[in-house]
């Protein structure tokens, strides 16, 4: 079940207070519309009623999909563990920024293996840098899967369209490998995790 409450928030621009809805648990199963609001980021977008300042407001929350059996926890304080409950039988992920929280929900909602996707991201990033050395692409984020294509967002504005099979090849290799992450709680998957998890060794042994 989704849960939410209203809190007072001080606008960073005009220092006046207004109220926002703060979600503690977000469940797409009871309220399908909310799924889109999370995946677009709109749920966290607010406009100050006093000065019109637009802002994204991040806070601790949990996205829990009971059907697809995954949970993504947002805990913005890097020194703190996830504050959300352990959910046996779920894929549990912990994110530290709103952008990566939204992306993780998108990846898992699309049914992708997010560990394989992390590998895929580094492969595509290397290709983009090789093909366009003049561009400084700092980030590459999952956008969507549509038909036979996978769409990624490069930097702030650019979209990269690739055949879905380019991801699937890597996902198949990960599936065939003997790799299983050694964690019982919330897992944070990023570039450093790729190096430390043993997934690269498991793939080499194939």
CB 11 within 8 A of CB 18: yes
CB 147 within 8 A of CB 121: no
Part in contact with Zn ion (CB under 5 A); list of ranges 6-14, 113-121, 126-134, 153-161: 6-14
CA distance 148 to 152: 14
Part in contact with Zn ion (CB under 5 A); list of ranges 14-22, 110-118, 143-151, 168-176: 14-22
Provide, rounded to whole angstroms, the least separation between the CB of residue 17 and Zn ion: 9
CB 89 within 8 A of CB 69: yes
Nearer to Zn ion, 11 or 154 (CB): 11
Q: Name the β-bridge partners of 20.
A: 7
Nearer to Zn ion, 48 or 61 (CB): 48
Size of the site for Zn ion (CB under 5 A): 7
Q: In Å, how far from its chain's centre is CA 153?
A: 13
Provide, rounded to whole angstroms, the least separation between the CB of residue 58 and Zn ion: 18
- As given in the structure block, the two tokens for residue 56 are 């994204």
Nearer to Zn ion, 36 or 50 (CB): 50
Nearer to Zn ion, 50 or 180 (CB): 50
Footprint of Zn ion on residues 53-112 (CB under 5 A)?
53
Nearer to Zn ion, 11 or 140 (CB): 11
Nearer to Zn ion, 51 or 86 (CB): 51
Q: Please report how many Cα atoms fall inside a 13 Å half-sphere around the Cα of residue 83, on the Cβ side.
A: 13
Binding mask 23-62 for Zn ion (x = CB under 5 A): -------------------------x-xx-x---------
Provide, rounded to whole angstroms, the least separation between the CB of residue 49 and Zn ion: 8
Angle between helices 114-131 and 98-109 (to 10 degrees): 110
Provide, rounded to whole angstroms, the least separation between the CB of residue 84 and Zn ion: 30
DSSP track, 54-119? EEE----EEEEETTTTEEEEE---TTS---SPP-TTSEEEEESSHHHHHHHHHHHHTT--HHHHHH
Question: What does the binding site for Zn ion look like in residue numbers (CB under 5 A)?
Answer: 11, 13-14, 48, 50-51, 53
């Amino acid at each position: 079940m989704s849960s939410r409450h209203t809190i007072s928030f001080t606008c960073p621009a005009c220092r006046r207070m207004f109220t926002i809805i703060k979600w503690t648990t977000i469940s797409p199963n009871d309220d399908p519309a909310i799924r889109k609001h999370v995946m677009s980021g709109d749920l966290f977008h607010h406009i100050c009623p006093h000065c019109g300042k637009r802002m994204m407001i991040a806070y601790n929350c949990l996205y829990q999909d009971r059907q697809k059996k995954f949970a993504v926890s947002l805990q913005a304080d890097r020194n703190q563990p996830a504050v959300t409950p352990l959910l046996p039988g779920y894929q549990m992920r912990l994110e530290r920024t709103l952008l990566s929280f939204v992306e993780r929900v998108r990846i898992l909602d699309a049914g992708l293996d997010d560990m394989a996707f992390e590998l895929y991201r580094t492969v595509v990033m290397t290709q983009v840098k090789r093909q366009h050395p003049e561009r400084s692409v700092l980030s590459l984020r999952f956008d969507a899967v549509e038909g036979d294509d996978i769409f990624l967002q490069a930097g702030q504005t650019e979209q990269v369209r690739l055949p879905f099979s380019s991801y699937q090849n890597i996902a198949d290799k990960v599936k065939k490998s003997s790799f299983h992450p050694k964690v019982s709680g919330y897992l944070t998957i990023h570039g450093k995790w790729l190096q430390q998890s043993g997934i690269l060794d498991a793939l080499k042994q194939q």
